[in-house]
Amino acid sequence: MSMPSIFVSHGAPTLILTDAPARTFLAGLGQQIPRPTAIVAVSAHWDTDVPAVSLVRRPDTIHDFYGFPEALYKLRYDAPGAPALAEKVAKLTGAAHDHHRGLDHGAWVPAMLAWPEADIPIFQLSVQPALGPAHHIALGRKLASLREEGVLVMGSGSAIHNLRALVRNEDASEPEPWAQAFDDWMADTLEKGDELALADYRASAPFAREAHPTDEHLLPLHVAYGAAGEGARGRALHRSFTLGNLSMAAYTFD
């Protein structure tokens, strides 16, 4: 079985408690793609200087946020880790070993929605914001062979992530033109499989600085794209906005 790789926008941690189109999409994701043998989660919320991989046997649920409803802090995602596969990923990528890292909300929120039984092994691979998109495409490409083992590489970040541009308390508000333009560019670029434009999105995409003041929430997309192998193309699984300009787009690559 050749598994596609995917990118999902995980939004605010409260997505899991919110009635929103993106939550509905993620809750049905497990039925849209083949069942993975294991999941390599590449979250925007674990950044390191060099790649690192978690070898924890029973990953903790990390509540890496503050000031949210108490119900959110009571949630636990008790899926097993996959130390042997994590070791293989470390060898493929040259990643350092981390024996303590659990699952941050970029990993467990979409996983809990898509696979609520928590019976698929999952572990994290970090991003390196200082090294840029091309590095992350190359990092993902080192994982391409895992597709034949049914392993899902799941990038989790945000298709647009500018916290200053959010429209608070207005989930249904329309995105501003700059946000729509960037989101449309990304969908079109991925559909074409234009790797050069994707790697140099800051120069190629309209309103790139407004959409991503920093890179970390888009880099998981680059890893997922790379993991689909040479000549990959993307297809939108879901597109919506929340809080005005926060794109919740999700893509599959093969």
Kindly report, residue by residue over 31-80, the tens digit of the pLDDT: 999 999 999 999 999 999 999 999 999 999 999 999 999 999 999 999 99
Domain boundaries, the chain: 5-253
| Contact yes or no for 58/143 (Cβ under 8 A) | no
Task: Tell me how far apart the alpha carbons of residues 198 and 208 are, in angstroms, rounded to a whole number.
Answer: 11
Residue partners of 75: CB distance under 8 A and separation at least 6: 16, 61, 108, 112
Residue partners of 253: CB distance under 8 A and separation at least 6: 4, 5, 6, 7, 190, 224, 225, 227, 228, 232, 233, 234, 235
Q: Which residues are bridge partners to 124 per DSSP?
A: 41
Domain 5-253 matching CATH 3.30.9.10: the answer reads no
| Contact yes or no for 146/227 (Cβ under 8 A) | yes
What is the pLDDT at residue 172? 60
pTM, entire model: 0.97
Q: Is the dihedral of CA 227, 221, 9, 56 positive or negative?
A: positive
CA torsion 141-146-8-12 (nearest 10°) is -100
pLDDT band at 24 (very low <50, low <70, confident <90, very high): very high
Task: Tell me how far apart the alpha carbons of residues 152 and 13 are, in angstroms, rounded to a whole number.
Answer: 22
Q: Which of 149, 154, 153, 156 is nearest to 37 (CA)?
A: 149
Tokens 């999700």, located at residue:
250
Structure tokens at 55: 């070898």
